[in-house]
Amino acid sequence: MTMAHLSFDGCDAVALAKEYGTPLYVVSERMIRERLRELRDDFLGRYPNTYALYASKALQTLDVLRIVASEGIGLDVVSGGELFAASKAGFPMDRVYFHGNSKTDAEIRMAVEYGVGRVVVDNLHELETLNRAATALGRRARILFRVAPGVDSHTHEYISTGRLDSKFGIPLDRRVRDAYVGAALGMEGVELLGFHFHVGSQLLSNESHLKAIGVVCALMAELKADYGFETAELNLGGGYGVHYHDDERARPLSYFVDPMMAELTAACATANLRLPRVVIEPGRWVVGEAGLTLYTVGSKKVIPEVKTYVGVDGGLPDNPRPALYGAVYEASVADRHDAPRDEVVTVAGKCCESGDILIRDVALQSPEPGDVLAVFTTGAYNHSMASNYNRLPRPAMVLTDSGEHRLSVRRETFDDLIAREL
């Protein structure tokens, strides 16, 4: 009996593995564009004076940058390297927002020289450095302050970013607040437009976003009363979750933005505040489910009455999330996608690390050496977090589009691994 191969965006996964090799990142351009168009239709098209950014740390390649630019969406970058790549891809710099909690002096100068649309300022040292750099170039950098609204986002502590005790953002202690706002309003080289918050990642509830809006609206009212400062722009961050396993499901964009816009509109009306320009910046939500990773099964080790380990030709270097966050994934044997899932196994990576486990105790279609294993929802924070641990070359990436496919990022070679060494 012939078993059906896994099809992804109209492409045969087994055939992709054969043509391009494994491990292989496979990313659907069609699915990315669908999410970007949902941003346009259900946020930008419904609410005036709004803007949307793609948080490119989730997945930043030249092709992805060009796709985002072509759909009219802005870009969130967090390093000089991401900014440089955006420039090389021809991304309009006035649509770029530069984030980060520890920007170097060189990165700050780079942001001013490139003419980015906004710099999201995290600390006083950065503010002072930015003011000097902009003044020296005869420019005025437009800024938002990142604030920590102090809400619990109910996610893994490593991706919870809105708490008061966080490396990100300005805690809303009145003394700290006044030191930042007072300094910015007196500077020649910066123009304070408003505020930004990000409460966490992989959120499947809108509760923490709504709480944060209440906190920041109170801040906006206080600053209007104390300084006469009217907030012109408010960035509500991103963090919208996607489906990784079991009953986790990506929420439609409207689930987050509609209640947030209602909450913000009501709070501004109550406090007699002008409704600011509203910005959102999803990343994982745009690309997470648009990707999968293909591996070749290399070994199968049965420990009677204990566990069966299935070894693959990738692991920790191409997907560190299980080791970092305890992330859980779903998978399928691509050669027999429609076969019964009659064997529970643990999928192990090839690194010399006990923690290099991709998926624990997953029911699969009796995997055997030579099979192609597909791990789903790897579009976000896989390619972008990949490393060369154990001198493993980083995988290639293929872009698909309704049955078409092409190489987007070539596989690294062993020569690449030592190219920088003297």
d(CA 170, CA 146): 6
H/E stretch holding 75: strand 74-77
What's CA 232's distance to the chain center, in Å?
26
The DSSP string of 274-334 is PPPEEEE--SHHHHGGGEEEEEEEEEEEEETTTEEEEEES--TTT--HHHHH-----EEEG
d(CA 5, CA 18): 13
d(CA 402, CA 260): 34
Angle at 263 between CA 259 and CA 265, to 5 degrees: 115
Q: Which residues are bridge partners to 375 per DSSP?
A: 293, 331
Which of 11, 268, 351, 352 is catalytic? The answer is 352
Contact 384, 288 (CB under 8 A): no
Is 352 catalytic? The answer is yes
SS3 406: strand
Catalogue the active-site residues.
352
